[in-house]
Structure 1
Amino acid sequence: MFRLIRTVGVIVGYAALATTKLQHMKKQKEKLPTVHMQDTYISLMAKKWAGRILDSADVTVEVTGHNINDDQPVLFISNHEGNFDIPVLVHAIEKPFGFVSKIEVKEIPFLDEWMMQLNSIYLDRSNRRSSLQMIKDGVASLKEGHNLLIFPEGHRSKGQGLQEFKAGGLKIAKSAGVDIVPIAISGTAAIMEKYNSRRMVPGHVKVQILEPVPAAIFQDHSLDEVGQLIRARIEDALHA
């Protein structure tokens, strides 16, 4: 229980501290010449936040696979095990990126403005119009040069195995004409979800950044076929 309280304190305290620096960072960001440099600068604070959360929870992260660090926008697609997926991925992925996140996150104090600065997009799963707007906003963000990450399972698996992928989010990559980078993450559910989020235990998480899927794949394959291909690659990586 102490570890959980300590980690929550780090999340809230560091978020509050970061928010006080946000206006200064926004001004500094605007002086940078490219979108990639601007996003990288803003993401530095998010990476510090993620690192402190992982340290406070005694979580180590092992990253393997492809190093995606150029300035071409991509859509990351990751499986979704647990609550710790977010700080782990912020820590593990070199490229700055925003999340396609559920609308409920918007209500968390301090977090909304940072989500916006990271070019995240909200989705209200109960509203079909919101899904269409999410795709439109995602395409616009990628075309502007930002990177996005989606969890196509929609919900945390909580360590119960890979769930079915919703292929709709792939419309973002298809319409924007960007590569897709699959990510396999394992070990986060054992930190909290195993105990119904009432406890927190130390853990070791593995993040595998898989070979990018080129944008041209949509010339010969449907959204569902691409979704099944990416899911199979992630599943193979998780069981390797």
Structure 2
Amino acid sequence: MIRNEVSNVIRTLIWFIYFCLYLLSVIPVWLRLKRLAKQGREDEVDDLLFTEVRKWARSLLNLAGAKVSLDGAEHVPATGPVLFVCNHQGYFDIPLLLGYVHKPMAFIAKAETKKIPIISSWMTMMKCVFMKRNNLRQSFEAIEEGSRILKAGHSLVIFPEGTRSKSCQMGPFKPGSLKLALQAQVPIVPITINGTYKLMERQGFLIRQAEVNLTIAEPILPQEETTA
């Protein structure tokens, strides 16, 4: 038992050191992305961004000791934007989605993440939308911005619960969670995550190995949602 706890502490320290060093190591990639964006080479930006973020996300999961299983990968549309609607168990949900859903995506994220150095710059490049959860007017503006991003051809992820459940229980959906898909008229792809809270949230910030499952359901067309 003590040996396992010591092992988890060491794993956690290594993980956080790696996390920080990796962000510093990809600064040259970030600068290249900035140059490509300034030149208007959006397709190259999207391809490079997707490749780098996917690689980073998988490395974080591997180092944490996550044993990932994926079901329903064939349900992700090969073309066109979609709104991924997903439950939110823990911090590792984001690298899980980025690493294992084969489609470039951005997130509807809480406004506080915009204050995090380096990470916020990558999120902005990915076209993430920052939302103040307790500000009704700003939430409406975020939905409008998200709708514009979807209409421009970029996929988004929303966590309708609005916060991490830190367990296998799903919290209530926030009002207006699916307005994005209805406004932009894009398919909704439901995703269920199970087990990410066991990697960290169940024991504070101490990382432990865990089995994690990602299940992707068939897309729901917006017309179906409006009549449901």
- What TM-score comes out, normalization by structure 1 length? 0.85
1:109 aligns with 2:117: yes
Within the candidate set 118, 129, 138, 2:126 is matched to 118
Q: Does 1:86 align with 2:94?
A: yes
Deviation per CA, 1:13-69: give whole Å up to 9, x if none: 1112223321212434656575xx642331111111111111211112111114215
Pairs aligned (count): 218
Aligned residue for 1:204, secondary structure, equals strand
Q: Which runs of 5+ in 2 are unaligned?
A: 1-8
User: Within 2, Cα distance between the matches of 1:106 and 1:211?
Assistant: 32
Question: Where does residue 51 of structure 2 map in the other structure?
Answer: 44
Q: How far apart are 1:115 and its partner, in Å?
A: 0.2
**1:210–1:40 Cα change, 3 Å:** farther
CA contact (8 A) 1:97 1:146 kept: yes
The answer to whether the 8 A contact 1:152-1:165 is kept is yes
Of the three residues 211, 219, 226, the one matched with 2:218 is 211
Partner of 1:77: 85
Cα distance in 2 for partners of 1:160, 1:10 equals 28
Letter in 2 for 1:39: D
Could you say what secondary structure the match of 1:168 adopts?
coil
Query: In the alignment, residue 56 of structure 1 is paired with which amino acid?
Result: L
Name 1:194's counterpart in structure 2. Answer: 202
Counterpart position of 1:228: none
The answer to whether structure 1 residue 155 and structure 2 residue 163 are counterparts is: yes
Aligned to 2:6: none
Return the match for 1:22 from 14, 30, 39: 30
Deviation beyond 3 Å, 4+ runs, structure 1? 26-34
What is the CA deviation profile of residues 56-93 of structure 1, one whole-angstrom value per residue up to 9, with x for unaligned ones? 11112111114215220000000001111111111111
Task: Tell me, yes or no, if the aligned pair for 1:179 and 1:212 is still in contact at 8 Å.
Answer: yes
Q: Which has the higher relative contact order, 1 or 2, with Cα contacts under 8 A spaced 6 or more apart? A: 2
1:5 and 1:90 mapped to 2: Cα distance? 23
The percent of aligned pairs where both chains have the same amino acid is 33
Q: Which residue is 2:183 aligned to?
A: 175
SS of the counterpart of 1:16? helix
Which position in structure 2 is the counterpart of 1:220? Answer: 227
Superposition CA RMSD, Å: 1.7
Q: How far apart are the structure 2 equivalents of 1:105 and 1:33?
A: 24
- TM-score, length of structure 2 as denominator length: 0.89
Match of 1:54 among 51, 61, 66: 61
Deviations 1:187-228 (A, max 9, x none): 11111111122x21111110001111112124423xxxxxxx
Structure 1, unaligned runs of 5 or more: 222-240
- 1:164 partner SS: coil
Quick one: which of 136, 148, 152 aligns to 1:140? Answer: 148
